[in-house]
A and B are shown apart, each in its own frame.
Chain A
Amino acid sequence: MGALPEPETAIEWLETMTSIRRFEERAGEMYARAKIGGFLHLSIGEEATIVGSTRALRESDYLVSTYRSHGYALARGTEPERVMAELFGRAGGCCGGHGGSMHMFDMKRRFMGGYGIVGGNLPIATGIALSSDYAETDEVTLCTFGDGASNQGTFGETLNLAALWRLPVVFVVINNQFGMGTSLERHSAVTDLQRKGESLGVPGTRCDGMDVLDTYAVVAEAVERVREDRRPMLVEAVTYRFRGHSVADPEEYRSKEEVAHWRERDPIPAFGALLEGEGILDAEGREALDWEAVARVDAAVQFAEDSPFPAAESLYEDVYVLDQHARGAYH
Chain B
Amino acid sequence: MAELRYREALNAALREELARDERVMLMGEDIGVFGGAFKVTAGLLEEFGERRIRDTPISENTIVGIGVGAAMSGLRPVVELMTVNFALLAFDQIVNSAAHVRYMFGGQVTVPLVIRMPQGAGHQLGPTHSHCLEAMFLHVPGLLVAVPATPADAKGLLKTAIRDENPVIFIEHESLYGIRGEVPDGEDTTVDFGHARIARAGSDVTIVGVSRMALTAERAAETLAREHGVEAEVIDPRTLRPLDLSTILASVKKTNRCVVVEEGWPHGGVGANLAALIGEHAFDDLDAPIARVSGADVPMPYSKPLEDIAFPHEPQIVRAALASLGRSPATSGSRSADAGATARSSSRGADTGAVRTAAAPERD
Using a CB–CB cutoff of 8 Å, the interface residues on chain A facing chain B are 62, 93-99, 103, 105-107, 112-113, 115-117, 120, 122-132, 134-135, 153-154, 157-158, 160-161, 164-165, 317-321, 323-331
Contacts and interface: CB of A to CB of B under 8 A. Distances in A.
Interface in B86-132: 92-93, 96-97, 101-110
Contact of B75 (A125, A131, A157): A131
B66 A126 contact: yes
8 tightest CB-CB pairs across the interface, nearest first? A127-B69, A328-B242, A123-B65, A328-B194, A318-B107, A95-B106, A157-B59, A157-B62
B254 interface: no
Interface in B184-224: 190, 192-195
Contact of A161 (B59, B72, B105, B241): B59
A103 B105 contact: yes
Interface stretch (B160-168, B286-294, B314-322, B328-336): B160-168
A113 B101 contact: yes
A164 B57 contact: yes
Contacts of B96: 116-117, 120
Given A120-B65, A120-B92, A327 B73 contact: no
Nearest to A158: B62
B108 A105 contact: yes
B142 interface: yes
B278 to A, nearest CB: 13
Nearest to B99: A319
B61 A153 contact: yes
Nearest to B141: A319
Nearest to B190: A325
Contacts of B67: 127
B69 A321 contact: no
Given A134-B75, A327-B242, A126 B165 contact: no
The secondary-structure label for the interface of chain B is mixed
B108 A328 contact: no
B108 A329 contact: no
Contacts of B93: 120, 123-124
B74 interface: yes
Nearest to A167: B66
Contacts of A324: 192
Interface string B48-60: 0001001011010
B282 interface: no
B72 A330 contact: no
Contacts of B83: none
B40 interface: no
Contact of B65 (A116, A122, A318, A330): A122
A160 B61 CA distance: 13
Contacts of A107: 105, 108-109
Given A157-B57, A318-B106, A326-B193, A128 B65 contact: no
A124 B241 contact: no
Contacts of A127: 65-73, 77
B251 to A, nearest CB: 16
Given A165-B54, A329-B194, A95 B25 contact: no
Contacts of B25: 134
B104 A325 contact: no
Size bracket of the B interface: 35 or more
B64 interface: yes
Contacts of B243: 328-329
A321 B75 contact: no
Nearest to A135: B74
Contacts of A113: 101, 105
Nearest to B194: A328
Contact of A154 (B65, B144, B164, B192): B65
B103 A98 contact: yes
B192 A130 contact: no
A219 to B, nearest CB: 20
B244 interface: yes
B345 interface: no
Contacts of A325: 160, 163-164, 190, 192-193
Given A96-B107, A131-B73, A123 B192 contact: no
B37 interface: no
Contacts of A326: 144, 164-166, 193-194, 242
Nearest to B62: A157
A107 B105 CA distance: 9
B85 interface: no
B66 A130 contact: yes
Contacts of A154: 61-62, 65
Given A95-B106, A319-B103, A325-B160, A128 B73 contact: yes
Contacts of B68: 123-124, 127
A263 to B, nearest CB: 34
Given A123-B68, A127-B67, A326-B194, A319 B102 contact: yes
Contacts of A318: 102-103, 106-107
Nearest to A134: B75
Q: Which of B54, B103, B110 has the most CB of A within 10 A?
A: B103
A124 B59 contact: no
B11 interface: no
Contacts of A115: 97
B106 A321 contact: no
Nearest to A160: B57
Contact of B69 (A93, A94, A117, A130): A130
A106 B71 CA distance: 16
B245 interface: yes
A328 B244 contact: yes
Q: Which of A99, A129, A131 has the most CB of B within 10 A?
A: A131
A161 B79 CA distance: 15
Interface in B214-260: 239, 241-245
Nearest to A318: B107
Contacts of A125: 69
Contacts of B241: 328-330
